[in-house]
Amino acid sequence: MSLLRSLLFPHSVAVIGATPREGKVGHAVLSNMLSFEGDVYPVNPKYEQVLGLKCYPSVLDVPSCEMAVVIIPARAVPHVVEQCGMAGVKVAVVISAGFRESGIEGLKLEREMLKAAQEYGVRILGPNCLGVANPRIGLNATFTATIPHAGKVGVLSQSGALLTSIMDWAYQMKLGFSAVVSLGNKADIGENEVLEALREDEGTAVVLGYLEGASDGRGLMRVARAVTRQKPVVFLKAGRTGAGSKAVSSHTGSLAGSDVAYEAAFGQCGILRAYSLEELFDIGMLLSAYPELKVRRVGVLTNAGGLGILAADACVLHGLELAQLSPSTIEQLKRVLPPAASFYNPVDVLGDADAHTYASALSALCDDEGVDAVVCLTSPQAMTDVEAVARAIAAVGSKKPIVACLVGGSRTEQGMRILRERGVPTYPYPERAVFSLGRVRTLREGWDEDEPVRFKVDRASVRTIIERALELRKSTLGVEHIELLEAYGIPTAPSVLTRDIDEALRAASAIGYPVVLKVVSPHISHKTEVKGVITGISDASELESAYSALMARVGRYAPDALVEGVLVQQMVEGREVVLGISEDEQFGKLLMFGLGGVYVEVLRDVVFRVSPVGRSQALKMIRDIRAYPLLSGVRGEERYDVEAVAECIQRLSQLAEENPEIVELDINPMVVRREGDGCVAVDFRATLRR
Amino acid sequence: MSLLRSLLFPHSVAVIGATPREGKVGHAVLSNMLSFEGDVYPVNPKYEQVLGLKCYPSVLDVPSCEMAVVIIPARAVPHVVEQCGMAGVKVAVVISAGFRESGIEGLKLEREMLKAAQEYGVRILGPNCLGVANPRIGLNATFTATIPHAGKVGVLSQSGALLTSIMDWAYQMKLGFSAVVSLGNKADIGENEVLEALREDEGTAVVLGYLEGASDGRGLMRVARAVTRQKPVVFLKAGRTGAGSKAVSSHTGSLAGSDVAYEAAFGQCGILRAYSLEELFDIGMLLSAYPELKVRRVGVLTNAGGLGILAADACVLHGLELAQLSPSTIEQLKRVLPPAASFYNPVDVLGDADAHTYASALSALCDDEGVDAVVCLTSPQAMTDVEAVARAIAAVGSKKPIVACLVGGSRTEQGMRILRERGVPTYPYPERAVFSLGRVRTLREGWDEDEPVRFKVDRASVRTIIERALELRKSTLGVEHIELLEAYGIPTAPSVLTRDIDEALRAASAIGYPVVLKVVSPHISHKTEVKGVITGISDASELESAYSALMARVGRYAPDALVEGVLVQQMVEGREVVLGISEDEQFGKLLMFGLGGVYVEVLRDVVFRVSPVGRSQALKMIRDIRAYPLLSGVRGEERYDVEAVAECIQRLSQLAEENPEIVELDINPMVVRREGDGCVAVDFRATLRR
């Protein structure tokens, strides 16, 4: 059975460690639980009664108990969790701290607690967490001072302190919650199960989250894919930088995956990533009002030209359009606004506009079929009755999303309150209002649109190569094993590993000139550093001199290297790209794509995805690099075979998934020919896990 | 004499159009003026007395009057301004609207008004403005409902409505003003003179501005250079995008310069550009507390690990460092914090920290010599007495800048108020606190550090070329005039314009092989489009076939083009860059630099500066492109002669300044050789203004 019922809709809750002593967590939790619609049982052997409720000496004594909230010293927790199991508790919310986060002893206690829980099938939220709340049924098993409003936002957080901030903010913003879940140490229940519960919960329309590190990145993607198809999910992921990640590990001991993997993963499974707490709040406010918002063409209404300009700028910068108003809308505006007003988007009602004028103009904009949403801006000018304007905006009955923005301070406070109370997302600055619309617009953009294809490949050959290498205790594979790519259907330039000049000459004439020579040595991993590649060899005599030159160079630059031979390879021409595999601790295999040479080395113009990827995602990878025009044929450039590259990315993805020993792989370069002519891998390097 | 005294420190003010009728602007202004320390004279023939002051029938009747505030119908303004002149008024603040912004009739009135003003030497602020205030002397010649606090922030705004928002915000933030100036239509006094006045005013420590378009871009840069050497200037420039600019022109009729020019100009003269209203406010709040702030190493103090991580991330993203705490600071922290706290930056005082613990830890951080500023974060947890913490933070006596951040809503409001009242810049989100520090860090980064050099050049030759072209009604110059660059000391690849194959052969052997052939025709402006360039010609026989091939191609691709000849040019090798001149309506000549080929065409990796530039600015241009590593020799790339390119940029700058007819010029490509070997212009194209 899913976690949903016991975690968010328990019938009965025991508060273990309840106490009448004010200022104690056990007091705060029980006080908060007095609003619960179900049964509440304080548990504490010291008291007969707490806060007017009968108090039980042990959880074993309570009549029935689906959830237990545990607020007792850490050392007593394992035993109490065992009792919970015996008492039939389904979920224990362990608020107590003093576990893994506090060192070795705590880690032991956490393990003992888990063992007891698993024995009886008790699920643990926490430990070291703020608790859980579902304001719709009065469940508030937390110790926060802020009582959450009921609503449709589900929130989960890996930091209890941050959750306090979120709840306090939401209280002020009149934002209601369907669920508030503090994950704490995630000893048992993690973000994935909570996400799944929030997906099942029909009363949750939007999910907001604060995450420091995913416990199971692949699982997160799987769950999130299902959730985001039903309701928007916005996550703030901390630890974007090295400094931040360092702070993360000293804080909770969780392993922060590399940011590039999170960035890719969130995009692929439709999680909208907030890059700051403000963004989480701003986007959260918008989505809580309009969970199904779709917007591209924005109408802007203002009583201050300057604010209108700032909003117009922001629209363009965030990928939105200023709506083109229809003639009938403009007619309508001309009827309700003074002649000096601006009737084109942004519509300027002028500084002396009263509430009625605002409302009439706003209605006209909302009625325009070419307008998806309206941003309604107000500066508190001498003649402006801000509160009346706020009430008027809130009262406009419209199916169009309206976002308000009152720009000021002391004179706009009350108006903001009025609008928020009436459920209109309200921002202090025009740019943030528009930014939030812009971010929501991209909500579904990064999605995996199709399932990865399973190509028919020659997996056996690859297994043989890998296993032989591992038997020989080799952890790298070089260009001499480029056939590994062929086995997965990734075309390579024809090549032959040769031992002497005669073999090389034979190979070259079989392949056909021009050819390239590449030194092959287990001790030379970067061939260009020892000048171990010679290109553009156009006939046998050139081959002979190139061959001896190559040997001389290697002797000079890498005198101790064991040379296994020289690879003779067909010389191919086209645009160079790089494809790669790497491995991330949280998300497993990542795929990389970029343009070759300076684009990847110097400009770092590369993109990553979590593997596997389907065709549409592979094509998106290619389109996402800045230098994409160099492949797509715009501005006088040639069109290269992007489809062929996308197929190679998918095949590489399958290679990565089916051969876990490959921890790194570079196809650098892969040469892409003109559209329709395919692409071929020219050089190759892989690292295996021994 | 400067404008400072009469605009900001008038002895006496007449309020022309004062009225006892509430809700009228003439009533609002006079009410606001009652706080004025000098003499106030209501002027209105209808009344004997207004708001308890003797009222005069005309400005000619008042005893003395340095400033007049004009709030009467537009049609009466020219005459009244004339009277002001006769009465000895120095500055007329024309609040009345109905001038240029309202059409042709208004424009006429504005011109009449100006004529009257100029006749008597009266300076005009506005018309169509909010007025002017200097709270230090109780001067509030505006009609806002918000009474500004006195302080050290000078603010100027091209939008009165936006200024209302700024004043209302500042009131709430307890931010005080030295001056508030609404520019209105800028018929006479513009931003440059106001900036100059604020520079002279010793009581102004920081300047904030909102601008839609500069009236005199070059003048702005000149004045701003002087101001920013004394005090920080932060400007929000609206109309960044096409959509925004369109809204600007329909709003005030001011010409919005292209954004790239503003971006360059602000950087060069040290104006810190805010990219949103929120940024203007956030940076303004920080600078008003610490006008001379210099910060690189940041200490972070928090009661919530998550907030600490977000701040740490933000530090790295905004170019700041997390300070490395000294051993003695860590010792000190260990004495005052519980053992489970984190003693390293970010310092985590834990969720149950009281005000005293906060204050002790904050003092320890402030005492560390390796800490430039401290960001103090608080989440309102169950045990947190937010107000007490706020008071404790404010009470820490330290010379180090402290920035606070209370993250929440209803429970943090009061704490924010306490901190702001005590002058501590306080933000609702950690990222904004750190962002503001990061922006201020870059305050002096883009400055012109040295004066442009005046090179000895052969200006006469260039004048001759230009004048001859203009006589011939030619508006473009091509590669055949590349000598124009030589005249200004910009090296070019040796080349000879030839009329036939014999001349070409002679030229090539004089220049030395390899050479390049380029077709020269007034009708072919993009030679590559007609394949009009052949490179890599290595001897006479190749030249002969290339020459006829070139002619055949031109005949095929541009059969109607008049061919003037073929340029034989030395073939040079190196890294290709592009240098250019363009012209901006507001700022005049702009200089452009980028890497050649796809970098400029596809990746748009170019930078602009307003000319003229000195050596350090020219070098900055080169360093500012993303692809700079391709020139600087990092990551295995060669080092190219960046100094030579910087000199060419300076010489091009002088060419642009001394030859105003050149509205566009491209050196594309200029080939840069290895460090020390210089660079040469290879192709060239210029457009002249006829």
Instruction: Provide block-wise average pLDDT over 10 residues at a time, chain B (690 residues).
Output: 86 97 94 96 97 97 96 97 97 95 92 97 96 97 93 96 95 95 96 96 97 93 95 93 65 58 94 96 96 94 94 94 96 94 93 93 96 96 93 88 95 95 95 96 77 94 95 89 94 94 94 93 74 89 92 84 90 93 91 85 86 94 92 80 97 96 94 95 91
Q: What is the DSSP string of B491-535?
A: -B--EEEESSHHHHHHHHHHH-SSEEEEEE-TT-S-GGGGT-EEE
pLDDT one-digit tens code per residue, A282-307? 999 999 999 999 999 999 999 999 99
pLDDT one-digit tens code per residue, B318-342? 999 999 999 999 999 999 999 889 9
pLDDT one-digit tens code per residue, A356-415? 999 999 999 999 999 999 999 999 998 899 999 999 999 997 789 999 999 999 999 999
Measured between alpha carbons, how far apart are the two ends of chain B, in Å?
40
CA distance A410 to chain B (A): 5
Using an 8 Å CB-CB cutoff, list chain B residues near A240. 313, 317
pLDDT one-digit tens code per residue, A583-620? 998 899 999 999 887 777 777 889 999 999 999 999 99
Q: Which CATH architecture has domain B293-441?
A: 3-Layer(aba) Sandwich (3.40)
pLDDT at A635: 63
Among B170, B305, B410, whose Cβ lies nearest the Cβ of A159?
B305
pLDDT at A561: 80
pLDDT one-digit tens code per residue, A183-227? 999 999 999 999 999 999 999 999 999 999 999 999 999 999 999
Q: Which CATH superfamily is domain B448-493+572-690 in?
A: ATP-grasp fold, B domain (3.30.470.20)
- In chain B, CATH 3.40.50.261 covers 2-288, 293-441
What's the predicted TM-score (pTM) here? Answer: 0.93
Nearest to B570 by CA among B435, B680, B436, B465: B680
**How many Cα neighbours within 13 Å face the side chain of B550?**
27
Q: Which helix (H) or strand (E) holds A133?
A: strand A131-134
Nearest to B308 by CA among B430, B432, B416, B436: B430
Query: CB contact, 8 Å: A413 with chain B?
Result: yes
Backbone angles phi, psi at A67, to 5 degrees: -125, 140
CB contact under 8 A, A380 and B635: no
Among A173, A381, A634, whose Cβ lies nearest the Cβ of B409?
A173
Please say if the pLDDT value at position A256 is more than 70: no
* Residue B151, C-beta contacts closer than 8 angstroms, at least 6 positions apart: B135, B175, B176, B177, B178, B288
CB contact under 8 A, B168 and A409: yes
Chosen for mutation from B105, B157, B249, B309 (greatest number of chain A CBs closer than 10 Å) is B309
Query: CB contact, 8 Å: B251 with chain A?
Result: yes
pLDDT at A253: 43
Q: How many residues does chain A have?
A: 690
Query: CB contact, 8 Å: B551 with chain A?
Result: no
Query: CB contact, 8 Å: B147 with chain A?
Result: no
CB contact under 8 A, A313 and B243: yes
pLDDT at B253: 44
The fold adopted by the segment(s) A2-288 is: Rossmann fold (3.40.50)
Residue with tokens 């404008």, as numbered in its chain: B3
CA distance A103 to chain B (A): 10
Q: Specify the amino acid at residue B189.
A: I
- CB atoms inside a 10 Å sphere around CB A690: 10
Q: Which CATH architecture has domain B495-570?
A: 2-Layer Sandwich (3.30)
Exposure string over A262-278, b if 16+ CB within 10 A, otherwise e: bbbbbbbbbbbbbbbbb
CB contact under 8 A, B316 and A244: yes
Q: In the structure encoding, which two tokens stand for residue A46, read together? A: 């010291």
d(CA A603, CA B604): 13
Q: In the structure encoding, which two tokens stand for residue A687, read together? A: 């690292």
Q: Taking a C-beta distance cutoff of 8 angstroms, is the pair B222, B214 a contact?
A: no
pLDDT at A273: 96
Surface-to-core class of residue A313, CB atoms within 10 Å of its CB (0-12 exposed, 13-18 middle, 19+ buried)? buried
Using an 8 Å CB-CB cutoff, list chain B residues near A170. 409
d(CA B474, CA B687): 9
Using an 8 Å CB-CB cutoff, list chain B residues near A381. 144, 160-161, 164
Surface-to-core class of residue B472, CB atoms within 10 Å of its CB (0-12 exposed, 13-18 middle, 19+ buried)? exposed
| A240-244, A471-475, B175-179, B299-303: least confidently modelled range | A240-244
d(CA B644, CA B677): 8
d(CA A672, CA A555): 33
In chain A, whose CA is at the least distance from the CA of B25? A382
- In chain A, CATH 3.30.470.20 covers 448-493+572-690
Q: Specify the amino acid at residue B413.
A: E
- Torsion, Cα A179 A183 A186 A191, to 10 degrees, reads 50
Chain A 596-625, residues with CB within 8 Å of chain B CB atoms = 598, 601-603
* Residue A540, C-beta contacts closer than 8 angstroms, at least 6 positions apart: A505, A508, A509
pLDDT at A250: 53
Chain A 88-127, residues with CB within 8 Å of chain B CB atoms = 102
Using an 8 Å CB-CB cutoff, list chain A residues near B25. 382
d(CA A669, CA B467): 53
pLDDT at A255: 42
Query: CB contact, 8 Å: A176 with chain B?
Result: no
Q: In the structure encoding, which two tokens stand for residue A326, read together? A: 């229809």
CB contact under 8 A, A429 and B278: yes
Q: Which helix (H) or strand (E) holds A239?
A: none
The mean pLDDT of chain A is: 92
pLDDT at A274: 97
CB contact under 8 A, B308 and A247: yes
Measured between alpha carbons, how far apart are the two ends of chain A, in Å?
40
In chain B, whose CA is at the least distance from the CA of A324? B243
d(CA A643, CA A188): 44
In A479-570, at which residue ranges do the beta strands (DSSP E only) sit? 495-498, 515-520, 533-537, 565-570
Asked if the peptide bond before residue A127 counts as cis, ω within 30 degrees of 0, the response is yes
* Residue B502, C-beta contacts closer than 8 angstroms, at least 6 positions apart: none
- In chain B, CATH 3.30.1490.20 covers 495-570
Sheet holding A565-570, edge to edge: A495-498, A565-570, A515-520, A533-537
Q: Taking a C-beta distance cutoff of 8 angstroms, is the pair B659, B462 a contact?
A: yes
The ipTM estimated for the assembled molecules is 0.92
CB contact under 8 A, A635 and B602: yes
Please say if the pLDDT value at position A348 is more than 70: yes
CB contact under 8 A, A145 and B314: no
Q: Taking a C-beta distance cutoff of 8 angstroms, is the pair A476, A687 a contact?
A: yes
Exposure string over B560-589, b if 16+ CB within 10 A, otherwise e: ebebbbbbbbbbbebbbbbbbbbbbebbbb
d(CA B300, CA B308): 7
Q: Taking a C-beta distance cutoff of 8 angstroms, is the pair A348, A308 a contact?
A: yes
pLDDT one-digit tens code per residue, A456-467? 999 999 999 999
